[in-house]
Each structure stands twice: as C-alpha cells, then as structure tokens.
A = this chain, B = another copy of it.
Amino acid sequence: MSKARERLLETAGRLFGERGYECVGINEIIAKAEIAKATFYQHFPSKEALCAAWLRGVEEHYAAMHRELLDDPRPARKKVAAMFDLLSCQVKSSGYTGCPFCVTSTMVPADSEVRQVIFGFRERVRSFWHSMARELGVKGVAARNLGDAWLLLNTGSVTEAQNVGAIWPLEQAKKAALALAAHASPKARTAKVSQA
C-alpha cells in the first residue's frame, strides 16, 4: 500500500471515528493527512469509497480478534468475559465515540456500498457470538438465543457507553453475559446447584 493511501486511511479512520462520517469533510482529511486533493482522488473515487475502505479495515481487525478468541484454549466463560474486557479497553481509549459501524450506519443511504459493509460486519459478529455459545456446550436454538443475547449486550453496552460517556455499561454487560451463561450451560448449572 502506498504511503499516501495509508495515511489517508489512518487519518480518515481517526476523524470518522471521532466525529462521524457526515461531520468530517474531505478537505479536513487531506489537510490533516498532508496529502494533496488530486492525490486523494487518485486513490479513492469518492468520499464514500474512502469510508467503505476504512470500515473494511476495521472489519478485518475485528475478524482477527474474534478468530484469536475462538482459537483460545481457555473455557468459553472466560473468553466471554475477555471479550467484554477487550471492548471495555477500546471504549476507554481516547477519542472513542462508539462502534464505527453503528455510528456510520445512520449517515449513509440504505443502498450504498457502505451499508453493505456494515451489514456484513453485523452478520459476522452475530455468528461469532453463536460460536461462543456452542463452545459453552449449548445446542440448537438455545445456542442461537444465548448468542443473540450476548450480541445485544455487546451492541447495547457500547452504544450506551457512548451515549452517557461512561464505562459502567461495559461492566454491567459483562455481568449479565456471565449470568446468562451460568443460566444456560448445563455444566455451569450443575456446578451452581451443587454449590448451593
């Protein structure tokens, strides 16, 4: 990848993430990236294409994170907790203003290329949580339900954290996710009953 393209993607990602697609202009991006406008349009045909390229990069990043976590040999319950800890770290990092896909989703037309990227990402995250539920030993429709519940806690906590500017949503989502896990997993339930 050329230096100019790299810098453009990096700068645009930072700005889009901070203030949202619609609130950041091409002029600001090229100024901050110190790239000439003509060069920009040699790499990307439009602002929207830049946005799509950025989101595809983020998608790859998350995909790697999910793969790594699924391959991790720890028990599933620890990995669910670890995922929420990872999200917590991201939210705590400076300038974070919510899931890039959710934030961008409202600002692009429904039939755009960007929307397709967003849609694909959400699908992938959902199937990640489904896999996690199956790893816990839950089967069939119950695994889908548990995975969806985790996904919604994931989405909800990140969104809420952005809305209120705090990290309690992440901590509370982790607790709820583990409670649901304890409720759903046959092994865990047995352990809990024997504790009582």
Identify the A interface with B (CB < 8 A). Answer: 19-20, 22-23, 97-98, 101-103, 105-107, 110, 118-119, 122-123, 145, 148-149, 151-157, 159-160, 162-165, 168-169, 172-173, 175-176, 179-180, 183
Contact = CB atoms under 8 A, between A and B. Distances in A.
Contact of A119 (B145, B149, B164, B169): B164
A128 to B, nearest CB: 14
6 contacts: A98-B105, A107-B107, A122-B163, A151-B160, A152-B156, A179-B180
B148 A172 contact: yes
Given A105-B163, A159-B159, 10 more contacts: A20-B22, A20-B106, A20-B107, A22-B23, A145-B175, A152-B153, A152-B157, A152-B176, A155-B163, A179-B183
Contacts of A151: 156, 160
A20 to B, nearest CB: 5
Classify the secondary structure of A's interface with B: helix
B102 A159 contact: yes
Q: How many copies altogether?
A: 2
Contact of A164 (B122, B145, B149, B165): B122
Contacts of A19: 106
A115 to B, nearest CB: 9
A35 to B, nearest CB: 25
Contacts of A103: 106
